[in-house]
């Protein structure tokens, strides 16, 4: 049990460790690129202009700090390669708003047109049904996009009436359990490669799918977002947060060590007491 002042001290230290590096930014530690992030980056890098990719915005504001920078970076990369982007959200309704926001911001920046170069399809419940239907016919499932525009004669969907055979890559930015359904109902039957970005919470879980090659890239949490920002040479929100993240982690490791020393001292004291009594 923590005493009250101890708790506030702990909270205070963490708050300082987060705020100070943000107020006084510095650039000392190198963020080394990992194989898993390069998997996604290289796949998009090697696509031809005019190819279509799917970006699944499967997160909502509760993991926005981790995945939104990742989404911006992936979109920027895709648009700079002149790829067509179909975005979709199957996690929770609020993710649709984030997807629309990101596409409008990045697409507007890079001179892309909604409905021609990109589209946000929006949210539908019942993941397996939607994913597998998209493999055979998009318009049957989505009669309107997230903004309520009719998809009937949208140029990007004229070009890509279904996922199967038309999609060159799928990136799922997932806050929950959406990577596995995308593999099972989307990428495996549809036969297109897939990469995933996820929060650091579920990062470790997906390595069994990365190892098996069912996803060819895996981006986990803020670090991966920062790496991607560095790869496309446009540092943003994620890179700005990495110093704070570093210091808090170091602080926590120190906490754990201090806690364990205290624990072992208590154990030793108890043993010594028992020995004395005997």
Partner 1 sequence: MTFLRRQLPVVIAFVLGMFVLIIFYIPAAPMQDIGDRLKVFVTIIGAFAMLLGINSILGQHITKIRKRRPGYGYSWVLILGFVTMMIAWIPWWSAPPADSAAYYPWGGLENSKGAFYWMFFWMMVPMQATMFSILAFYIASAAYRSFRAKTLEASVLLVAAVIVMLGRVPLGTSLTAWLPETGFWSSLRMEEMTSWLLNVPNAAGFRGIVLGVALGIIATSVRIIFGVEKTYMGGGD
Partner 2 sequence: MATFIGTWIAAGLTLMILSFLYKDNPFFRFAEHLYVGIANAFVVWLVWATIVLPDFIGRVFINIAPDPDVTWSPDFWFLVPGILGLIMLTRMIPAIEWMSRWALAFVVGWGAGFMIGPVLNSYLLAQVYASFPWVNMQPYIGAPPGEYVPALVNAIILFICVVTVLIYFFFSYEHKGVIGGGAKIGIWVLMVAFGASFGSTVMARVSLFVGRARFLVQDAEPSGHAFSILLTLGILIVIIAAIVGRRQPPTKESESAE
Instruction: List contacts with partner 2 (CB under 8 A).
Output: 2, 4, 7, 11, 14-15, 18-19, 22-23, 62-66, 93-94, 96-97, 122-126, 128-129, 132, 143-144, 146, 148, 150, 152-153, 180, 183-185, 188-189, 199-201, 203-205, 208-209, 211-214, 220-223, 237, 240-241, 244-245, 248-249, 252
Q: Name the residue nearer to partner 2 (CB basis): 250 or 268.
A: 250
CB 77 within 8 A of CB 236: no
The CB density around residue 237, as the number of other CB atoms within 10 Å, is 18
The option from partner 1, partner 2, none interacting with 95 (CB < 5 to 8 A, set by class) reads none
User: Can residue 164 be called a binding residue for partner 1 (CB under 8 A)?
Assistant: no
Q: Which residues of 26-57 are buried (b: 16+ CB within 10 A; e: fewer)?
A: eeeeebeeeebbebbbebbeebeeebbbbbbb
Q: Which x/- pattern, by CB under 8 A, does the window 72-111 give for partner 1?
A: ----------------------x-xxx-xx--x-------
The site that binds partner 1 (CB under 8 A) totals a number of residues, namely 73
Site for partner 1 in 176-235 (CB under 8 A): 180, 200, 204-211, 220-221, 223
CB 52 within 8 A of CB 166: yes
Residue among 263, 85, 88 nearest 173 (CA): 88
Q: Name the residue nearer to partner 1 (CB basis): 168 or 190.
A: 190
Contact residue for partner 1 among 22, 259, 265, 271 (CB under 8 A)? 259
Q: Rounded CA gap, 57 and 64, in Å?
A: 11
Q: Rounded CA gap, 179 and 90, in Å?
A: 11
- What do you get for the CA distance between the two ends of the chain, in Å? 30
User: Can residue 240 be called a binding residue for partner 1 (CB under 8 A)?
Assistant: no
Residue among 128, 120, 124 nearest 182 (CA): 128
Q: How far is the CB of 251 from partner 2 (least distance, A)?
A: 10
User: Can residue 2 be called a binding residue for partner 1 (CB under 8 A)?
Assistant: yes
Q: Name the residue nearer to partner 2 (CB basis): 50 or 255.
A: 255
């Amino acid at each position: 049990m923590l005493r009250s002042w101890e708790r506030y001290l702990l909270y205070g230290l963490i708050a300082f460790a987060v705020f100070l590096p943000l107020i006084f930014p510095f650039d000392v530690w190198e963020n080394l690129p990992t194989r898993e992030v390069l998997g996604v980056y290289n796949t998009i890098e090697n696509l031809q202009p005019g190819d279509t990719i799917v970006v699944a915005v499967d997160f909502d504001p509760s993991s926005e700090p981790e995945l939104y920078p990742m989404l911006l970076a992936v979109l920027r990369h895709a648009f700079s390669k002149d790829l067509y982007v179909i975005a979709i959200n199957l996690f929770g309704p609020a993710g649709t708003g984030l997807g629309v926001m990101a596409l409008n911001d990045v697409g507007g920046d890079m001179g892309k047109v909604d409905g021609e170069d990109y589209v946000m399809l929006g949210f539908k419940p019942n993941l397996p049904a939607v994913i597998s239907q998209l493999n055979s016919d998009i318009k049957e499932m989505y009669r309107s996009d997230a903004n309520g525009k009719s998809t009937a004669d949208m140029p990007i969907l004229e070009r890509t009436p279904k996922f199967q055979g038309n999609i060159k890559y799928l990136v799922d930015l997932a806050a929950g359990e959406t990577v596995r359904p995308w593999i099972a109902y989307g990428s495996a039957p549809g036969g297109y490669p897939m990469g995933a970005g996820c929060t650091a919470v579920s990062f470790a879980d997906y390595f069994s799918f990365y190892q098996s090659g069912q996803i060819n890239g895996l981006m986990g949490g803020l670090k991966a977002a920062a790496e991607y920002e560095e790869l496309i040479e446009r540092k943003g929100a994620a890179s700005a947060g990495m110093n704070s993240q570093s210091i808090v982690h170091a602080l926590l490791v120190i906490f754990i060590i201090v806690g364990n020393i205290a624990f072992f001292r208590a154990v030793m004291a108890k043993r010594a007491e028992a020995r004395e009594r005997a």
